[in-house]
């Protein structure tokens, strides 16, 4: 057996602290989600009722099936709301701590910006900026490594999708300058 004693160790210097304070409890989020789902069920239910949720000469109207699904969704959300309100008084389990929220935002905000930039500069430029920026700013990885990784990955994606498999991605002014 060629089992070795070597260990693979990957440390995470930016790991969230264990004693970080809670930002919001799971109970509160459950209440908010149930309220939002209840509002969604009401809106969709109204829209389907307006479209037609009964019977005509040809059978069930277009809104018939989704209308009753809205009712089921509304019922489930209302029940969930009551359960969450009762449970909320008893226990307050943490949904996310401050340190965790910071880390989630460190991914979410760049992803949001990436979607925005894709609309104007195309997917490949946005990908390059996201990968290089994320590696450098969040991962604190050396600038040359970040730029090189982003360039290689974006190039592989371009060759794979746009050239090899003919899957056309959104382009921006840079690709246009190169005739794509």
Applying CB under 8 A, does 35 fall inside the site for other proteins?
no
Provide the β-strand partners of residue 80: none
- According to CB under 8 A, which one of 20, 49, 76, 147 is a site residue for other proteins? 76
Interior angle at CA 144, CA 141 and CA 145, nearest 5 = 50
Give 38's contacts (C-beta < 8 A, 6+ positions apart): 74, 77, 78, 81
Could you say whether residue 167 binds other proteins (CB under 8 A)? Answer: yes
Q: Is 140 left (phi over 0), alpha (psi -120 to 50) or beta?
A: left
120 binds other proteins (CB under 8 A): no
Binding residues for other proteins restricted to 40-59, rule: CB under 8 A: 40, 44, 47-48, 51-52, 55, 58-59
Binding of other proteins at residue 19 (CB under 8 A)? no
Judged by CB under 8 A, the residue of 121, 125, 134, 172 near other proteins is 134
Smallest distance from other proteins to CB 126, Å: 8
């Amino acid at each position: 057996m060629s089992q070795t004693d070597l260990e693979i160790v990957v440390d995470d210097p930016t790991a969230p602290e264990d004693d970080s304070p809670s930002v919001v409890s799971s109970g509160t989020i459950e209440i908010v989600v149930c309220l939002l789902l209840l509002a969604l069920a009401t809106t969709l239910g109204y829209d389907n009722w307006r479209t037609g949720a009964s019977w005509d000469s040809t059978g069930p109207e277009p809104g018939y099936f989704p209308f009753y699904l809205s009712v089921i969704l509304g019922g489930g959300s209302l029940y969930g709301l009551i359960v969450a309100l009762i449970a909320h008084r008893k226990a307050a389990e943490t949904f996310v701590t401050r340190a965790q929220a910071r880390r989630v935002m460190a991914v979410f905000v760049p992803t949001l910006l990436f979607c925005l930039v894709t609309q104007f500069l195309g997917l490949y430029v946005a990908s390059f900026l996201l990968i290089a920026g994320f590696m450098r700013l969040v991962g604190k990885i050396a600038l040359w490594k970040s730029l090189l990784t982003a360039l290689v990955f974006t190039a592989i994606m371009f060759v794979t999708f746009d050239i090899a498999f003919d899957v056309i991605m959104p382009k921006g002014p840079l690709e246009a300058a190169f005739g794509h």
